[in-house]
Amino acid sequence: MCVFALAGLGGAGSFVERSTQDQAVPEPDPKVDEPRVEDEPESETPTVGLREAVALALERNFGIRASAEGVETARINEGAARAQFYPKITPAIRGSADDRTFSVDGAQRLPWLGGSVSSSAAYRATTRQDALFASTSDLRLTLSQPLLRGFGPAMTMYDLRNSRRNRQGRERAHDLDRQRLAEDVTGVFYQVVKQRQLLAVAQQSQQRSLRLKEASEARLKVGLASKLDVLRAELQASQAEAAAVAAQSGLENALERFRFLLALPPAHPLEPEPIELPSAAEGDLEPLEVLVLRARENRLDLQETRDQVEDARRTLSVARQRLLPQIDLNVGVTWSGYGSTFSESRGALDRRTDVFLTTSYPLERASDLAAKASAEMSLGAHERLLEQKLLEVETDVRAAVRDLERMRKAVELQRKNVELAEQQHRLATLRYERGLASNFDVVQAEEDVFSARTSLVGLLADYQVGRVRLRRVSGGLDVSTEFWK
């Protein structure tokens, strides 16, 4: 009866008449997973997909570029360490008013035996009157081979292997940095997508709150609502506006973080392309045992820890060898010739062969003993670290799988919560429009709808980031094939 009595009262009557037709407050968008953003005119804002964004970050990110320079430095140092096994040839020419000398000295380290070969060839021509011969030729070849301390590749190639391991460690650290960067870019990419949809949810809530405020004011004018209803609606509209402002600020922060990872200025127009958040499908994860086994085989940090154990064993072997006495076998061959010309001196070469042993053993061995003890403790520490790393890897995989399962189940529950919250909002709106209740239930239902849809958007975005994190911790993330251009 109130409907017909107020039909001619302008705005208020029109509102009540619309309420009987269930049209006062529009129903929320049925697509709860992807809140709609109002149509906007096409702009020239450049956008980039996730794959291209990660590839761009891998090329431009400051941290990755610094890490790549560290790898290059390690490669240079490895080349310098390898150069100690290259032949070293040193020519020399010396001259004065009375004589001239031309010589060539050579040296070569033997990488597998630990010995060394040195040689020299010298020719001297003199014009001095007191000299017996005008030309002198001299050739020398010496082999020095340690028999105990210094024998074998363990000590001879110690520096080279350390340089090689340093290069491998830098390369693995660089690959780990690339994987973490890919995960970070993925996270901030979906953070932007999330903030866009949260902004859309907040804007929809703001529109409904404004309509409720207008309706409450209209009903107050005709005596169908109290001042408390108007104040409650105004408060709800103010809170919805604050939520929209917060969502807009969060979107700007996410965009600036996205551009920072790509080494772009904060004001650069590049943005992630608009995409729909995929659903969390059941059964899209591999068995836990398969993931753990793959992580133990492929995790780069675990491989590096295993190699560090081998490095500690090698260091201990060298430390033990340094406690042995120094015994070297030396073989020297010398050719000497004299003559009035170079041809005569070379043709009259006289050969002499010397074979002898040299040995030394210092009485003070405190530093060598300390080095051995330190190497033994270091080996034990690295073996414990390997055991710890194995447990840590399995724990990381289990935690990542558990998080994904939790989020998947939470998404299913949150979808039901969204549907229930929307039904509750529609029912509360109808009861308020028909004068059966105040707008308190409408305000409360609006908060429930906003909270449910916000949580659902956050879960869907976090699920996509969690999938990338699982691939990283299980050793299955290869940025070179998945993201590189």
- Which pLDDT does position 346 carry in this prediction? 66
Q: Residues 465, 466, 471, CA angle at the centre, nearest 5°?
A: 100
List of the chain residues with pLDDT < 50: 1-42, 485
Distance CA 435, CA 298 (A): 66
- Which pLDDT does position 106 carry in this prediction? 93
Q: Are 108 and 88 within 8 A, CB to CB?
A: yes
Distance CA 337, CA 344 (A): 8
Alpha helices by DSSP H, 288-350: 288-298, 300-321, 342-347
pLDDT tens track for 24-49: 334 444 444 444 444 444 457 899 99
Q: At what angle do helices 288-298 and 366-433 cross, to 10 degrees?
A: 140
Q: Are 210 and 237 within 8 A, CB to CB?
A: yes
As given in the structure block, the two tokens for residue 75 are 């490669």
